[in-house]
Structure 1
Amino acid sequence: MDRDSVDWYGYLPAVTTPFTGSGELDPAAWRTQLDWFAAERLHGIIVAGTTGEWFSLTEHERAELFTTAADRVGDRLTVLGGCNAYTAAEAIRHARAAQAAGLDGILLTPPPYVVPTRAEILTFYRTVAEAVDIPLCVYNWPRGTGVDLDADLLRDLAELDTVVAVKNSTPDFGGFVRSLVALRHRVRYFGIPTNEVGIELMTKVGGDGLMGAGAVLGADHPDFFRALQAGDLDRARTLGARDRVIMEEWFGPDYGARFGNAQAIMKYALTLRGVPAGQVRAPLLPLTDAEQQRVRGTLTRLGLLS
């Protein structure tokens, strides 16, 4: 497999998982949320990623989310399954569940917290790739894993048979560009910012889109990349500026939340937009009243609330 084995492009956000106030998975809300993502014409979604609170999901719940997403929107969107885990054996079980559900691929970070060596990272991915024949997107997220995958290591990972894409959420912009140049002809490359720099990269260097989080702006996110495809750079700039408001007001340069937690921010924003995103699950806490006002203020300035 390589980049030509898949058609992944544009905006594929990691989406929230709706829980009830008592912490139960809310299947009805999940189905409604999936319908909204499809109606907003997203290019795809990532199920059970960090925004989807994979760390508090049971194995059965993750598999249920995969199956429902494939059944509900798999004919309209690219659906990737988040398979993050502390061991290769766990990741393989999640990857097999994604494959059984009929998902288009999986997203996988190095084991979080462990801070593995380069050799351990290669072995981890190789073990998963050899066990499950499903397209794999390597996810570089130093904030969550404690390791930053440089261009040389990503190049080695891209040689694994099932690796077709990289999501690079490094705060090291120089490293981001070096990896883009090194990998653009081998795998799909995601993480392109929705600003002037991103426009230059997409039009002059390469890149395939953004695997962001939450999709709270709905169609604005994927339409940024549709505008680039159409050569309408002015429209792309307008749409990108709206996304940058959220990124600058809610998140820091390492993609961490400036207040509360990212999952609660996204869920509250979606709820304000009429999407039943539900509550966060412990150990995460809901936003305080003051934090909710910050989210509401941003959406109001963007013209999304009356």
Structure 2
Amino acid sequence: MDRDSVDWHGYIPAVTTPFTADGDLDLPAWAAQLDWLADQRMHGIVVAGTTGEWFSLTEQERAELFHAAARQVGDRMTVLGGCNAYTAAEAIRHARAAQAAGLHGILLTPPPYVVPSREEILAFYRDVSKAVDIPLCVYNWPRGTGVDLDTELLTRLADLPTVVAVKNSTPDFGGFVKGLVALRHRVRYFGIPTNETGIELLTRIGGDGLMGAGAVLGADHPDFFRAVAGGDLDRARHLGARDRVLMENWFGADYGASFASAQAILKYALTLRGVPAGHVRRPLLPLTADQQARVRATLTDLGLR
């Protein structure tokens, strides 16, 4: 497999997992949220990623989400299964569940918390790649894993038979661009910012899109990439500026939330937009009144309330 084995492109957000106020998985809300994402013309979604609170899902719940997403929208967009885990054996079970559900691929970080060495990272991905024949996107997220996959290591990972994409959420922008130049012809490369720099990268060097989070702006997110692809750069700049408002108001340079948890922020924002995103599950906590006001103010500034 390589980048030409899949058609992943554009805006593919990691989406929230709806829970009830009591912390139960809310599958009817999940179906409604998936329909909204499809109606907003997402190019794809990531199920049970960090935004989807994978860390508090049981193995059965994750599999349920995979199957429900495939049934609801799998014929309308790319659906990737988040398979983050502390061991390769766990990740393999999740990957097999994604494959059994009929998902188009999987997204996988190095084991979080462990801070593995380079050779341990290679062995982890090699074990998963050998065990499950499903397209794999390597997810570099230093904030969540404690390791930053540099270009040399990403290049070695791209040699694995099922690796077809990289989501590179490094705060090292120079490293991001170096990886893009080195890998753009071999794997799909995600993490392109929705600003003038992103437009320059897409039009002059390459790149495939952005695996963002939440999709709070709805169609504005994927339409940025459609506008660039269609040559309507003024429209792309307008849509990208709206996205940057969210990034600047709610997130930091390392892609972490600047207040509360990203999941609570995104769920509250989606709920304000009429999307049944549900509640966060503990250990995460809902937003305070002041934090809710901050989210409402941002949506008001964007004309969404």
TM-score between both structures, scaled by the size of structure 2: 1.00
Unaligned runs of 5+ in 1: none
Q: Secondary structure at the match of 2:160?
A: coil
Code of the aligned partner of 2:273? R
Quote the residue 1:74 is aligned against. Answer: 74
Q: Secondary structure at the match of 2:60?
A: helix
Q: State the Cα distance separating 1:159 from its structure 2 match.
A: 0.4
Quote the residue 1:114 is aligned against. Answer: 114
Aligned residues between the structures: 305
Q: State the Cα distance separating 1:263 from its structure 2 match.
A: 0.1
Code of the aligned partner of 1:51? T
How far apart in 1 are the matches of 2:178 and 2:226?
Answer: 25
Q: Secondary structure at the match of 2:258?
A: coil
Quote the residue 1:11 is aligned against. Answer: 11
How far apart in 2 are the matches of 1:36 and 1:292?
Answer: 23
How far apart in 1 are the matches of 2:10 and 2:2?
Answer: 18
Residue 243 (structure 1) aligned with residue 239 (structure 2): no
Quote the residue 1:288 is aligned against. Answer: 288
Code of the aligned partner of 2:184? R
Code of the aligned partner of 1:161? P
Code of the aligned partner of 1:133? D
How far apart in 1 are the matches of 2:44 and 2:256?
Answer: 23
Quote the residue 1:89 is aligned against. Answer: 89
How far apart in 2 are the matches of 1:66 and 1:77?
Answer: 14
How far apart in 1 are the matches of 2:193 and 2:288?
Answer: 29
Residue 156 (structure 1) aligned with residue 145 (structure 2): no
How far apart in 1 are the matches of 2:73 and 2:117?
Answer: 38
Quote the residue 1:30 is aligned against. Answer: 30
Code of the aligned partner of 2:264? A
Quote the residue 2:224 is aligned against. Answer: 224
Q: Secondary structure at the match of 2:257?
A: coil
How far apart in 2 are the matches of 1:129 and 1:138?
Answer: 11
Q: Secondary structure at the match of 2:139?
A: strand
Code of the aligned partner of 1:169? S
How far apart in 2 are the matches of 1:124 and 1:220?
Answer: 36
Q: Residues 1-306 of structure 1: matches in 2 within 5 Å?
A: 1-305=1-305
Q: State the Cα distance separating 1:174 from its structure 2 match.
A: 0.5
How far apart in 2 are the matches of 1:125 and 1:107?
Answer: 11
Q: CA RMSD in A?
A: 0.3
Code of the aligned partner of 1:277? A
Q: State the Cα distance separating 1:276 from its structure 2 match.
A: 0.6
Q: State the Cα distance separating 1:33 from its structure 2 match.
A: 0.2
How far apart in 2 are the matches of 1:9 and 1:241?
Answer: 20
| Cα shift readout 1:95-137 (whole Å, capped 9, x = no counterpart) | 0000000000000000000000000000000000000000000
Code of the aligned partner of 1:228? V
Code of the aligned partner of 2:283? P
TM-score between both structures, scaled by the size of structure 1: 1.00
Q: State the Cα distance separating 1:294 from its structure 2 match.
A: 0.4
Q: Secondary structure at the match of 2:243?
A: helix
Q: State the Cα distance separating 1:158 from its structure 2 match.
A: 0.2
| Cα shift readout 1:162-197 (whole Å, capped 9, x = no counterpart) | 000000000000000000001000000000000000
Q: State the Cα distance separating 1:255 from its structure 2 match.
A: 0.6
Unaligned runs of 5+ in 2: none
How far apart in 2 are the matches of 1:231 and 1:72?
Answer: 32
| Cα shift readout 1:33-69 (whole Å, capped 9, x = no counterpart) | 0000000000000000000000000000000000000
Code of the aligned partner of 1:79? V
Q: State the Cα distance separating 1:222 from its structure 2 match.
A: 0.2
Q: Secondary structure at the match of 1:167?
A: strand
Q: Secondary structure at the match of 2:165?
A: strand
Percent sequence identity over aligned pairs: 81
Q: State the Cα distance separating 1:148 from its structure 2 match.
A: 0.0
Q: State the Cα distance separating 1:290 from its structure 2 match.
A: 0.3
Q: Secondary structure at the match of 2:107?
A: strand
How far apart in 1 are the matches of 2:169 and 2:118?
Answer: 18
Q: Secondary structure at the match of 1:255?
A: coil
